[in-house]
Amino acid sequence: MTIASYFADLIEQISPIHGRGEAISIAKIIAEDVFHCASIQSVQQLTSEQQVQAQAIKEELLTGKPLQQILGMADFYGLKFIVDEHVLIPRQETEELVFEALRVFPPEENIKVLDIGTGSGCIPITLKHEAPGWEVSAIDISEEALYIAHLNALNNDTEIYFLKQDILDEDQWENHRYYDLIISNPPYIPHSEASLMPDSVKKFEPSVALFVEDSDPVIFYKKIAKFARQHLRQNGVLLFETNEFNATDVEALLIKEGFHQVQIIKDIHRKDRIVKAKA
């Protein structure tokens, strides 16, 4: 079987499940990362070993499993991150959050940073990689996620202080010091909107990382804002990832909490994506 015929068949079969655009992206990642081949139209033959591997990947994709979980690896900001079912797959939108953090503080400045709800650790690890002088800490409620985040920090040669903590529990706040930057991409999807999410996300990604109660969809933003009032230095910066449906609610709550220069920043698709504020 040629590489081209494998991918033509793969795209055809997985498009109904993953969507055609995503199916083509999946094919390109497999070509590059698994077959080390530049094109999905190559007429090169797959070896018999590659055919077995190709078939196994296709079968898993047909269950709706995201490619990153099948390969156990995701790309983020030019780095590789181990992922499994306990962590959210790092998203492109989150790269923009990281980019914004690196725009706000010069990499050579000696600042202290905290990432809340770190998951795979993609945010703190990328920040530390880009700005080695920063002192970066990260918390998460999930022990399984922290295990993956630790591995990712090791693999990417970065030193991060990880701590298991539930940010919603105020009793756990006191062992924190002051930070110059607090950053978070918290869960924010109300359970009632779950039906709008792709099945592959609902079935395979951790619900603790995604969903919140309908009764208080901005609960994490509220708690983190309160935490930041107590643990951000004067002129420190709070950076949140949001989506286009909750950005103005988050903006309003930060203004109400007394933050300054509250600003919504759009992503490359012109959608509200980041809310930034100063203490």
In the complex, the smallest distance separating the C-beta of residue 187 from ligand GLN, rounded to whole angstroms, is 5
Residue 253 in the binding site for ligand GLN (CB under 6 A): no
Nearer to ligand GLN, 15 or 267 (CB): 267
Applying the rule CB under 6 A, the residues between 65 and 124 that interact with ligand GLN are: 88, 90, 94, 117-120, 122-123
Nearer to ligand GLN, 69 or 120 (CB): 120
Q: Per the structure block, which two tokens stand in for 213?
A: 């109660």
Residue least distant from ligand GLN (Cβ):
119
User: 85's torsion region: left (phi>0), alpha (psi -120 to 50) or beta?
Assistant: alpha
Task: By CB under 6 A, name the one of 186, 211, 225, 251 that touches ligand GLN.
Answer: 186
Which x/- pattern over 131-160 shows residues binding ligand GLN (rule: CB under 6 A)? ------------------------------
In the complex, the smallest distance separating the C-beta of residue 98 from ligand GLN, rounded to whole angstroms, is 9
Applying the rule CB under 6 A, the residues between 194 and 223 that interact with ligand GLN are: 209
Determine contact, residues 259/279, Cβ cutoff 8 Å: yes
Determine contact, residues 114/140, Cβ cutoff 8 Å: no
Nearer to ligand GLN, 31 or 239 (CB): 239
Nearer to ligand GLN, 95 or 180 (CB): 95
As a whole number of angstroms, the distance between CA 10 and CA 193 comes to: 30
In the complex, the smallest distance separating the C-beta of residue 133 from ligand GLN, rounded to whole angstroms, is 22
Q: Which residues bind ligand GLN (CB under 6 A)?
A: 88, 90, 94, 117-120, 122-123, 185-187, 209
